[in-house]
Amino acid sequence: MTKSPSTLGIILFIATMIVFFVVYTFFSGINYFDISLKANAFVLPLLYAGAAFWSVKSYWNTHRVVKFKEAFKRAFVPMFIGGILSIFSIYAFLNFVDPAAKKLLNYQYVQRQKSELDTEYTTARKILKHQKDIDELDQKYKERLQSFTPEAVKGKDMLTASHFSGYFAAILIFYVVLSVFFGAFFRTRTIHQPEEMNQA
């Protein structure tokens, strides 16, 4: 059965929100940001790629000729609808329904950046042998630490409308690349009739 791209988009939207609320409900603790990051990096791309593939493949199975444009559309439209509805819904939820969850994500985001800075600094300090290089590294580390003071991070917000727009722009690139791949792979499939039937 071939579902319309818009129907698949709604299904993707629902699936995305299920993933979001599973993470929100069961993992909104000390690892909330890390688990959210992993879900966005591994679970959702596989989900969207699988849905796009199924959308094009089901159409490909039932049509004698599939043009690039049609295959591209069959892959892109479901991902675009599912993605944009999800972005709007998650933005609205974090900014208006549960700002505390947004505050936690922002805090853990800053803490992760600080942890990565500390790790880089410790690793680099072990490698350096000359005191001049060590002193220079220490100075740069102290300068970067200033961006993590309570005053510096007080108004830091990675979940604003502009940030969400940036996230979606990056996601769109993924949608386009994947759709181009599926469009090229499934295009122009012609079922040739047996030779004797053509001569009849």
Of 140, 137, 120, 141, residue with least CA distance to 128: 137
Q: What is the pLDDT of the chain when averaged over all its residues?
A: 90
Distances (CA, A) of 137 to 128, 132, 149: 9, 9, 19
Burial class (CB in 10 A: 0-12, 13-18, 19+), 25: exposed
pTM of the complete model: 0.86
pLDDT tens track for 14-56: 999 999 999 999 999 999 999 999 999 999 999 999 999 999 9
3-class SS of residue 102: helix
How far apart CA 72 and CA 155 sit, in angstroms, is: 42
The first and second tokens of residue 188, run together, are: 């122009």
The first and second tokens of residue 120, run together, are: 């880089």
